[in-house]
Amino acid sequence: MDHFDHHDGRLWCEQVPLDELAAEVGTPAFVYSASTMRDHVSRLREAFEGLDPLICYAVKANSNLAVLRLLRKAGCGFDIVSGGELKRIQRIGADASRVVFSGVGKSVREMTAGLQAGVLMFNVESEAELEILAEVAAHVGQTAGVAIRVNPDVDPKTHRYITTGKKENKFGVDLERGEALARRAIELPGIELRGIQCHIGSQITDVAPYGVAIERTAALARRLQPDAPDLAWLNMGGGYGIYYRDADAPDLADYATAVRPALEGLGLRLIMEPGRVIVGNAGVMLTKVVLGKTSGAKRFVIVDAGMNDLIRPSLYEGYHRIWPVRGDAPPALGTEADAAPVDIVGPVCESGDFLAVDRPLPAVERGDVLGVMSVGAYAFTMSSNYNDRPRAPEVLVDGDQYAVVRERESHDDLVRLERPDAKLRSLGASAGEQESHT
Ligand code: LLP
């Protein structure tokens, strides 16, 4: 469900016509629908009714401050993976007691910041991390709430780059080590075992692996419960799939049905860390046709957005629907008989710079604006300045109005930190000056 609709000869985001918006804000540009994001949060709540989940939105999917503020108002907590994401949610006044801190390589600086902020818990992914966190907690003089992230060894049947719950992945600890680690957490001073967590991957469209993963995770929690007085949460991670094609995602209620039996009678509250399912289908990227070109049998449409703006097609073989914002609505997938297949590519100097390959598209001309759908998640947050391209603006639409919630970068923004005239100096001459992540 989303609030993008093609009618009256153009594509609309809520009540804003996107051809006019493109003329006003320029291209490329990301446009998000506020109503779609709010709806997705409500739908998640409805689907998991009775389980009363704490929805910790995964900030990495889309970390724009306006989006975070909107989701805080919609009642979300947050799942963060860095000190930078912590600073973002602090800026929008998030309640730290509804925040989980994930990540396989948290630095001492990040642990300290999380503790000082008072996050609900750290998702701990290794023995070494737990020991370091205990030391940091002692140093800061605070108790660290933790969840042990277990790796339940299930195959979520998604792209290999976004599979996390198999034994060979770097995430979490296997179930046997997980139990030992949890018992260590119960004993360690300065540490409070508050939860067990798992996250098996992203864009998962088969609900069955969730059932198995949660069953294994819940069984571990049951074994621990008699010895773990503070164990109150089971965190099932995120990963719910969305529709990139027509209807390739299950109903949210199906995910809930898959995990309900394992949670029955467990007496733990549910946390989830959804990112994509809340924001993914709430975004479109507007891009303008620069020119068309033919090479051998291939037809190319070159547009002004490239892999630096949207890397998902190049990196994960990601599919995003693309259609002109002006003209007829796109036909149902697979019935675009009149539309000749073209490669829709960007201006970046890489053969891997494409948004779509062999894609049916009606005839387009220089200056026409195309809408690249389902780019609310992992699009802007993964964008870069490669080829010295300023990052695109982000626009939030609500009803019949819009706001530019991140401006287009300028050339000055791109060179702001460069020091071409910096003087060479000897090692040690500036000891203590440098900041690092650790
Ligand atoms: N929790 C943890 C521990 C995660 O690692 C992730 C995503 C999430 C929650 C949120 O997952 P979601 O509900 O959004 O699927 N860049 C890739 C996706 C990477 C996902 C990384 N972890 C893409 O564009 O497909």
For residue 230, give the CATH number of its domain. Answer: 3.20.20.10
Above pLDDT 90, what percent of the chain? 89
Tokens (6 digits) for 223: 């074994």
- Active-site positions read 349
Backbone angles phi, psi at 258, to 5 degrees: -65, -30
Q: What gap in Å lies between CA 235 and CA 218, rounded to an integer?
A: 10
Q: Is 275 in the pocket of ligand 1 (CB under 6 A)?
A: yes
Q: Is 40 in the pocket of ligand 1 (CB under 6 A)?
A: no
Of the three residues 245, 279, 313, the one that is the final residue of a domain is 279
Report pLDDT digits (tens) over 377-421: 999 999 999 999 999 999 999 999 999 999 999 999 999 999 999
Fill in the DSSP letter of residue 382: G
Distance of CA 432 to the CA centre of its chain: 35
Q: Is 319 in the pocket of ligand 1 (CB under 6 A)?
A: no
Q: Is 156 in the pocket of ligand 1 (CB under 6 A)?
A: no
Q: Which of 214-228, 317-331, 337-351 has the lowest mean pLDDT?
A: 337-351
Kindly report the protein residue whose alpha carbon is nearest to atom 8 of ligand 1.
238
Length of the chain: 438
Are residues 321 and 234 located together in one domain of the fold? Answer: no
pLDDT band with cut points at 50, 70 and 90 for residue 434 = low
Closest atom of ligand 1 to CA, residue 164: 5
Are residues 251 and 181 located together in one domain of the fold? Answer: yes
Are residues 263 and 295 located together in one domain of the fold? Answer: no
What is the best residue among 81, 202, 235 to mutate for testing ligand 1's pocket, by most ligand atoms within 8 Å of CB?
A: 202
pLDDT at 179: 97
Q: Does the pLDDT of residue 437 top 70, yes or no?
A: no
Of the three residues 224, 253, 279, the one that is the final residue of a domain is 279
Q: What gap in Å lies between CA 259 and CA 254, rounded to an integer?
A: 9
Are residues 243 and 119 located together in one domain of the fold? Answer: yes
Q: Is 360 in the pocket of ligand 1 (CB under 6 A)?
A: no
- In this structure, is residue 356 part of a structural domain? yes
Q: What gap in Å lies between CA 175 and CA 152, rounded to an integer?
A: 6
Are residues 116 and 233 located together in one domain of the fold? Answer: yes
Q: What gap in Å lies between CA 252 and CA 160, rounded to an integer?
A: 23
Fill in the DSSP letter of residue 189: T
Q: What gap in Å lies between CA 283 and CA 293, rounded to an integer?
A: 28
Are residues 38 and 182 located together in one domain of the fold? Answer: yes
How much distance in Å is there from the Cα of 375 to the middle of ligand 1?
Answer: 14
- In this structure, is residue 95 part of a structural domain? yes
How much distance in Å is there from the Cα of 279 to the middle of ligand 1?
Answer: 12
Of the three residues 279, 306, 324, the one that is the final residue of a domain is 279
How much distance in Å is there from the Cα of 210 to the middle of ligand 1?
Answer: 15
Closest atom of ligand 1 to CA, residue 203: 15
- In this structure, is residue 256 part of a structural domain? yes
Are residues 274 and 294 located together in one domain of the fold? Answer: no
Contact 403, 395 (CB under 8 A): yes
Q: Is 85 in the pocket of ligand 1 (CB under 6 A)?
A: no
What is the best residue among 217, 276, 375 to mutate for testing ligand 1's pocket, by most ligand atoms within 8 Å of CB?
A: 276
For residue 375, give the CATH number of its domain. Answer: 2.40.37.10
Report pLDDT digits (tens) over 261-297: 999 999 999 999 999 999 999 999 999 999 999 999 8
- In this structure, is residue 146 part of a structural domain? yes
How much distance in Å is there from the Cα of 191 to the middle of ligand 1?
Answer: 27
Report pLDDT digits (tens) over 127-183: 999 999 999 999 999 999 999 999 999 988 777 777 776 777 778 899 999 999 999
Are residues 255 and 362 located together in one domain of the fold? Answer: no
Q: Is 316 in the pocket of ligand 1 (CB under 6 A)?
A: yes
pLDDT at 27: 98
How much distance in Å is there from the Cα of 274 to the middle of ligand 1?
Answer: 8
- In this structure, is residue 101 part of a structural domain? yes
Q: Does the pLDDT of residue 227 top 70, yes or no?
A: yes
How much distance in Å is there from the Cα of 196 to the middle of ligand 1?
Answer: 18
Q: Is 110 in the pocket of ligand 1 (CB under 6 A)?
A: no
Are residues 259 and 154 located together in one domain of the fold? Answer: yes
Are residues 222 and 341 located together in one domain of the fold? Answer: no
Are residues 341 and 231 located together in one domain of the fold? Answer: no
Closest atom of ligand 1 to CA, residue 123: 3
Are residues 187 and 274 located together in one domain of the fold? Answer: yes
Domains identified in the chain, total number: 2
Helix, strand or coil for residue 249? coil
Helices 127-140 and 108-117 cross at an angle (nearest 10°) of 60
Q: Is 273 in the pocket of ligand 1 (CB under 6 A)?
A: yes
Domain that holds residue 360: 4-13+22-26+281-415
Above pLDDT 70, what percent of the chain? 96
- In this structure, is residue 186 part of a structural domain? yes
How much distance in Å is there from the Cα of 50 to the middle of ligand 1?
Answer: 25
- In this structure, is residue 433 part of a structural domain? no
pLDDT at 337: 62
Q: Tell me what the mean pLDDT of segment 61-72 comes to.
A: 98
- In this structure, is residue 354 part of a structural domain? yes
Q: What gap in Å lies between CA 388 and CA 414, rounded to an integer?
A: 7
Q: Does the pLDDT of residue 333 top 80, yes or no?
A: no
pLDDT at 415: 98
